[in-house]
Amino acid sequence: MAELQQAQSLEALRPVISSIATSFGFRFYKVYKSPIPAVGSLRDLLLLTDLPDAFIETFDTIGYTSDELARMRFVNRSQLTEWTVDHLLEPADSGKNERLLDLLGLYGIDRGVYVNIAPVDGPVRILSFFGRRDPLPVQVAEHLTVLAVQVLHHVSRIQMRREWDDAGLTSLEIECLLLASQGHEAHEIGRRLGLSGRTVLYLANSVCSKLKVSTLDQAVAEALRCGFIT
């Protein structure tokens, strides 16, 4: 998906995700992070969504706990989990689920899917779609899973790049990192940049400190993984 790869911010992903939702017959989407706090707030977890503010506010007033929300996700070993409102008919708290059923009905939602990834750098990220449609055929579900995973990995890269930007690497530190990623040793990095070995060592230590890693090799690996350098 060219539009996905061109998106350099979370906001730029909105039309991409919305297009996926529409093409698979869903009305809404949300991208959020987990684990969920002990007393969950959907708004605090959201990274992107087109759910109306009124929906989010009402959902948060229902007051689901982390355990209840985890059960509602019906987490299993597959990346895609499909649910329907029928899953809410045997609740741990019938009052809460009745209110949720009313809320879903108000917005024309009777089915949804969740796709999640668990990157090594942080929390699980989840993309979910909601709406009123028939069950997903197997091949359609597989196609949606592939697209959703691509979106979630891109979200992860964008967030990592934001963290790197916030780290405040200098242009010289980035040059040092780029040369290290090309396999150059410290003396060669120094020669190419016109720096002493001591200065290169200082730059390497500064990069590691800012990126909260132990070695320059680890910094290079993280930079390559998140697309900060190529």
Here the CATH number for the domain that contains residue 173 is 1.10.10.10
Together in a domain, 30 and 88? yes
Distance CA 133, CA 67 (A): 28
Q: Are residues 29 and 91 in the same domain?
A: yes
Identify whether residues 172 and 153 lie together within a single domain: no
CA-wise closest residue to 115 among 155, 52, 73: 73
Q: What CATH number is attached to the domain comprising 80?
A: 3.30.450.80
Residue 146 and residue 190 in one domain: no
Which of 118, 142, 161 is a domain's end point?
A: 161
Are residues 108 and 173 both part of a single domain?
no
List the pLDDT tens digit at each of the 230 positions of the chain. 678 777 878 899 999 999 999 999 999 999 988 755 444 577 888 899 999 999 999 988 887 655 555 555 544 445 788 888 887 765 555 678 888 889 999 999 999 998 988 765 556 788 999 999 999 998 999 999 999 999 988 888 787 777 767 777 788 888 888 899 888 998 899 998 898 888 999 999 988 888 888 888 888 887 776 666 76
Question: Residue 173 is part of which domain span?
Answer: 168-226
Instruction: Using a cut of 0.85, tell me whether the model's pTM lies above it.
Output: no
Q: Cis link prior to 35 (omega < 30° from 0)?
A: yes
Residues 156 and 101 reside in one and the same domain: yes
Q: How many domains does the chain have?
A: 2
Judgement on whether residues 84 and 196 belong to the same structural domain of the protein:
no
- How far apart are the C-alpha atoms of 206 and 1, rounded to whole Å? 37
The alpha carbon of residue 4 and the mean position of all alpha carbons in its chain are separated, in whole angstroms, by 14
Are 136 and 72 in the same domain? yes
Do 34 and 140 fall within a single domain? yes
Is the domain of 124 the same as that of 214? no
Domain identity same for 80 and 122: yes
DSSP annotation string for 62-102: H--BHHHHHHHHT--SSSEEEEEGGGGSS-SSHHHHHHHHH
